[in-house]
Amino acid sequence: MKQLPFMGIVCTVMLFIVYRTTNYQHRQTEMETKIHPFGTEFLLASRELNGLPRGIIHTKSDLELRPLWSTSSSRSKVNVYSHRNLLAIPVGIEQKDNVDAIVQKFLPENFTIILFHYDGNVDGWWDLDWSNEAIHIVAQNQTKWWFAKRFLHPDVVSIYDYVFLWDEDLGVKNFNPGRYLKIVKTEGLEISQPALDPNSTDIHHRITIRARTKRFHRRVYDLRGSTKCSDASEGPPCTGFVEGMAPVFSRAAWRCTWHLIQNDLVHGWGMDMKLGYCAQGDRTKKVGVIDSEYIVHKGIQSLGGASSSARKASNSEELTKRHGAAADVRTEIRRQSTWELQVFKERWNRAVEEDKNWVDPFPFKSIRRVGKRKHHHQ
């Protein structure tokens, strides 16, 4: 009986120690989660590596091809990749000549080339001199953003200074990658795009049109239409904006953008309006359009469109049927894109509401823009 008070004291001390330990672990996890914005999944992945000695872990990779064999002298040399950049393009065989013209512009400027084949046809590219040096990835009927999310992880492309994620239907007669990047670096642009020739097809935003008298621009002035752009405009699409057809990202901007890409929303609609959040600072200064190195958007729709065999069909009735089917596919793609745009907006708004620790770097700018729109509609 005399031992009961002693045992009670021991139990109390033990419970206190367990409580303090559990509380400490909980606070430590919270602190680590704040330090690592990717949350508990990141922490779990790190803990899963505890079985390896730290020095053997290489978290980064690249897309450079490696030889199956080499001489003893070449083996002793360390490959150093400096100031290397990446060009990634979704391609179909029907755009082969145009893609060849694009790649020929980039190869002399120390670029690694990766082709995302959405039509499954890789064999048709082997006759090009540079094809054996390019990376070829095949997935039937998948979009640029689907490929990018799965194969351009930031740790894999971390050796590249800039990532060019371009469409295949761009004319590059008046574009030089070296001169382009020189302007980007000089002006401190983290996200950019070449300006569009005014004669391009499918120009959706005035800010992307080439200004003939400028080297580059960060904003546009336009008092026509429903979107009014003036000096007071502080966000997309008047400033801090590039479109999705030919974006160029710095290493840091791409790491952020990769996380912005939604795994299941393949068309990427609406994401261009949020790219400024990945500009590593003030989007009105870090995002720009290069006028002196410009491109032509040809607006050729291959993914989900009619095949070349359909266009060459001799039977007019069969041709009409196939073109009708292609038109139906285009309609369904448009519906899917519109639905994805709405889903992306809802996810963004919900994420903003749920993340109590996140501070919008452009809060007052967004409020002013909304206020002006309401006043205009009234």
Whether the ω angle into residue 247 lies within 30 degrees of 0, i.e. cis, is no
| Sequence-ordered list of residues with C-beta below 8 angstroms from that of 211, at least 6 positions apart, any chain | 195, 217, 291
Listed range (194-208, 250-264, 298-312, 346-360) with the worst mean pLDDT: 298-312
Two tokens at 112?
A: 């690694």
Q: How high is the mean pLDDT of the chain?
A: 83
- How many CB atoms lie under 10 A from the CB of residue 179? 14
Q: What is the DSSP string of 209-223?
A: B--TT-SEESB--B-
Q: Over range 100-106, report the average pLDDT.
A: 97
pTM > 0.75: yes or no: yes
Q: Give tens-digit pLDDT for 27-48.
A: 655 554 454 445 555 555 678 8
Q: Give tens-digit pLDDT for 244-287.
A: 999 999 999 999 999 999 999 989 888 999 999 999 999 999 99
Delimit the domains of the chain by residue range. Answer: 85-297
**What's the CA gap between 160 and 135, in Å, rounded?**
15
Q: Which residue has the tokens 């502080």?
A: 234
378 band by pLDDT with thresholds 50, 70 and 90: very low
pLDDT for the residue 375: 38
Which of 66-75, 126-135, 299-308 has the largest mean confidence? 126-135
Residue 315 near residue 243, CB atoms below 8 Å: no
Q: Give tens-digit pLDDT for 218-230.
A: 999 988 777 788 8
367 band by pLDDT with thresholds 50, 70 and 90: very low
pLDDT of residue 321 exceeding 70, the answer is: no
pLDDT for the residue 66: 84
Of the candidates 296, 319, 297, the residue with the CA atom closest to the CA atom of residue 306 = 319
How far is C-alpha 275 from the geometric centre of its chain's CA atoms?
Answer: 9
At residue 172, what is the residue type? Answer: V
Two tokens at 280?
A: 């590593």
Residue 133 near residue 220, CB atoms below 8 Å: no
How far is C-alpha 166 from the geometric centre of its chain's CA atoms?
Answer: 10
85-297 falls under which CATH superfamily? Spore Coat Polysaccharide Biosynthesis Protein SpsA; Chain A (3.90.550.10)
**What's the CA gap between 324 and 319, in Å, rounded?**
8
Phi, psi dihedrals of residue 195, rounded to the nearest 5°: -65, 160
**Burial 320-336, CB ≥16 within 10 A → b, else e:** eebeeebeebeeebeee
Up-side HSE of residue 256: CA atoms within 13 Å toward CB?
16
pLDDT for the residue 217: 95
310 band by pLDDT with thresholds 50, 70 and 90: very low
**What's the CA gap between 268 and 143, in Å, rounded?**
9
- How many CB atoms lie under 10 A from the CB of residue 201? 11
Let me know the angle formed at the C-alpha of 91 by 211 and 173, rounded to the nearest 5 degrees.
35
Q: Over range 86-114, report the average pLDDT.
A: 96
